[in-house]
Structure 1
Amino acid sequence: MSDSALVVGGTRFIGRHVVDDLLENGYEVTIFNRGNHENPFAENDRVSRVEGDRTNREDLERARDEAEPNIVVDCVAYKPKEVEEAVDVFADVDGYVYISSGSAYGNEEIPKREGVTELCDCTAEQAEDDSAESYGPRKAEGDRVIFEAAENGVNATSVRPCIVYGPHDYTERLDYWLERVDTYDRVIVPGDGTNIWHRAYVEDVASALRIVAESGEPGEAYNVGDQRLVTLEEMLEVIADAADTEIEVVHAGERELAAADLEPTDFILYRPYPHVLDTNKLASLGWESTPVDEAMRRTMKEHRESDRDGAEHDPGRDAEERVLGVLDTI
């Protein structure tokens, strides 16, 4: 008899890849969600679906009872109280894993290490908030719920991804850069192109969640990110290779960007201070990451097949052209 897994979420980005990974590793899978998004596994007889609201305890219990899971992967716990409910409802499973975030770290250190780098504080108001500003504190408080549950005998663990990219990414953060490289031969990069914001390929995040659910130490958190870090400019070079094209990377400092009323932070995935996660703890469980070149080839292929263009992150090509005009006169 196959092991059973319950995925809370399971139809969009990370959750979709978690289901694929679990199926590839012999699990029978149940997904639990509200049904607000198309179910890519509707025709797969190894994937069952329970409809419900994860904030409703009775719905969570029904999903547990129907799936009878060995492991649970929780993709949509955004508030500490949701984690509290989950570790209680799933207290008897072999492994419950909560998706936290690299944003849970409260200190800017290089690299950020589990159990060493301090986590964000979380006020009562932040714990109930839905804003982007409270995201890190809420994730950190969810981690603390995991730690306490493990002390009470629950096989609960946490995985902290950095910026996740790959096929079916509805955030479209990387799609902006994929579209730029695929469309133009000159691409503006803010600053000198050497800034680093650690990224994690989504299939690797999915395998990390399964491995931690199976083999992680209760009460522990595990960082996940590409084992080869690339700068923003190196990322564009990797994208260009994946697109089989050539681009000119044009550096623009604050003064040049200001000519078009732009700032470096108007460009998605730019970060003034490096964000780097130590992934050795996860690797000690046998996890490996996909080579960045291969990950980007898969990502570009799906991007071209999709209708995503990252337009919501676009600072405006007209503005960029003004910056290029300034740079060309220097």
Structure 2
Amino acid sequence: MRLCVTGGAGFIGSAVVRLAIKRGHEVLNLDALTYAACLENVSDEEASALYRFKQCDIRDREGVQEALDDFKPDIVMHLAAESHVDRSIDGPSDFIETNINGTFNVLEAARKYWEEAGKPERFRFHHISTDEVYGSLPADPEVKFTEGTPYDPRSPYSASKASSDHLVRAWHETYGLPVVITNCSNNYGPYHFPEKLIPVVILNALAGQPLPIYGDGSNIRDWLYVEDHAEALLLVAERGEVGRSYNIGGDNERTNLELVQAICSILDRVQPRSEGLYSDLITFVTDRPGHDARYAINASRIRDELGWQPSVTVEEGLERTVTWYLENEAWWQPLLERKGVGERLGTGKAKSA
């Protein structure tokens, strides 16, 4: 299988690249190398004859077209996106340009390639999205997002991803482009860029800095280990029904406070502080605007139709993740110098476009 991954130097994209190469697939990694990308994520794959890299921004329609026409993929897996909610609150224009206009460019490039190749039967356009497009859930544990949940995005990020989902569906209905869509819950694991909650907590704790928790820490997320997600994505790309969407979740709901406390407990055991507990560093800060109360995925469709289910519990995944960060300071230390990392973002003081 020939697989083109947009955003393959990012967190989830690089996990897909590593797994695909391991399974013997040919991979073209198409990435603009913006602030959250890191080619170190796929450094072990660079020597493989199965791997190619092309620096290309999905906002560059001609560049995307040239890459697809040259590589001739069986599957385009579209992960490239601006993804940090807090950054979308402060500067929404990048999210509109990349997540909406960029997706339009990739769709049009894929459609032209597919049509000129004679509409090959095995071709798929796989669009990777988020559960945040569905909005916010009540506390009732029986209520979860399904593929039929109406869209109700609450942030510039989730609105831009909802828009891209609608574009992908429209290209299927209007032009017949063979698409599949997946909507995932919160990912975590190795190579997670250090501006998201879990790596922020780990690295702040190691530095003896405050562990910031928005509001009262009661917001609930369903946590999905990134390598489980990569398994699911390759499965959907190869066996998913054309025109179908699949929710992918970890079945690991935790409040933000519970999650941070679990990380502190692991660190207390594996690398104790010289004085006190890591949980002593927990600090509650002003909540982000429009902070969704709860996300939870009903992943029964992908389980029943394709046989996938998560294999890593949040306890196991956090243990692996903490260990990875302790052992890979050479990876994360340089990233702390990148723009905005370590700053409080998402205050609602949006920059003009």
Fold conserved between structures, TM > 0.5: yes
1:114 equivalent to 2:147? Answer yes
Answer yes or no: is the 8 Å Cα contact 2:249–2:299 preserved in 1: yes
1:220 equivalent to 2:249? Answer no
Structure 1 residues 191 and 12 mapped into 2: Cα distance closer, same or farther (>3 Å)?
closer
Matched residue, 1:311: 342
Matched residue, 1:142: 164
Matches within 5 A, 1:78-227: 78-91=98-111, 92=114, 94-106=123-135, 108=137, 110-120=143-153, 133-151=155-173, 152-173=175-196, 174-182=198-206, 194-227=218-251
Task: Report the CA distance between 1:98 and its aligned residue.
Answer: 1.3
Secondary structure of 2:150's aligned partner: coil
2: distance between equivalents of 1:52 and 1:176? 29
Residue identity in the other structure for 2:145: K
Task: Report the CA distance between 1:143 and its aligned residue.
Answer: 0.9
Residue identity in the other structure for 1:100: S
Answer yes or no: is the 8 Å Cα contact 1:158–1:221 preserved in 2: yes
Matched residue, 1:129: none
Secondary structure of 1:198's aligned partner: strand
Structure 1 residues 108 and 293 mapped into 2: Cα distance closer, same or farther (>3 Å)?
closer
Structure 1 residues 180 and 148 mapped into 2: Cα distance closer, same or farther (>3 Å)?
same
1: distance between equivalents of 2:247 and 2:135? 15
Answer yes or no: is the 8 Å Cα contact 1:195–1:274 preserved in 2: yes
1:270-313 CA-partner distances (Å, limit 9, x unpaired) = 95722222222232322222222222122112222232677335
Tell me the TM-score normalised to structure 2 length: 0.70
Give the RMSD, CA atoms, in angstroms: 3.4
The match for 1:53 among 35, 41, 57 is 57
The match for 2:293 among 242, 248, 273 is 273
1:282 equivalent to 2:305? Answer no
1:32-61 CA-partner distances (Å, limit 9, x unpaired) = 223555532433332112233322222222
Structure 1 residues 88 and 106 mapped into 2: Cα distance closer, same or farther (>3 Å)?
same
Task: Report the CA distance between 1:14 and its aligned residue.
Answer: 1.3
Task: Report the CA distance between 1:251 and its aligned residue.
Answer: 11
The match for 1:26 among 18, 24, 27 is 24
1:192-239 CA-partner distances (Å, limit 9, x unpaired) = 755412222222222222122112222232222212222334323532
Tell me the TM-score normalised to structure 1 length: 0.75
Matched residue, 2:11: 13
1:74 equivalent to 2:78? Answer yes
Task: Report the CA distance between 1:187 and its aligned residue.
Answer: 7.0
Task: Report the CA distance between 1:96 and its aligned residue.
Answer: 1.3
Answer yes or no: is the 8 Å Cα contact 2:222–2:295 preserved in 1: yes
Answer yes or no: is the 8 Å Cα contact 1:186–1:248 preserved in 2: no
Structure 2: unaligned runs, 5 residues or longer: 82-97, 115-121, 346-353
Secondary structure of 1:143's aligned partner: helix
2: distance between equivalents of 1:203 and 1:112? 22
Identity over the aligned pairs, expressed in percent?
23
2: distance between equivalents of 1:38 and 1:119? 32
1:120-168 CA-partner distances (Å, limit 9, x unpaired) = 49xxxxxxxxxxx422111111111121222232221222223322211
1: distance between equivalents of 2:296 and 2:16? 23
Structure 1 residues 177 and 90 mapped into 2: Cα distance closer, same or farther (>3 Å)?
same
Task: Report the CA distance between 1:181 and its aligned residue.
Answer: 5.0
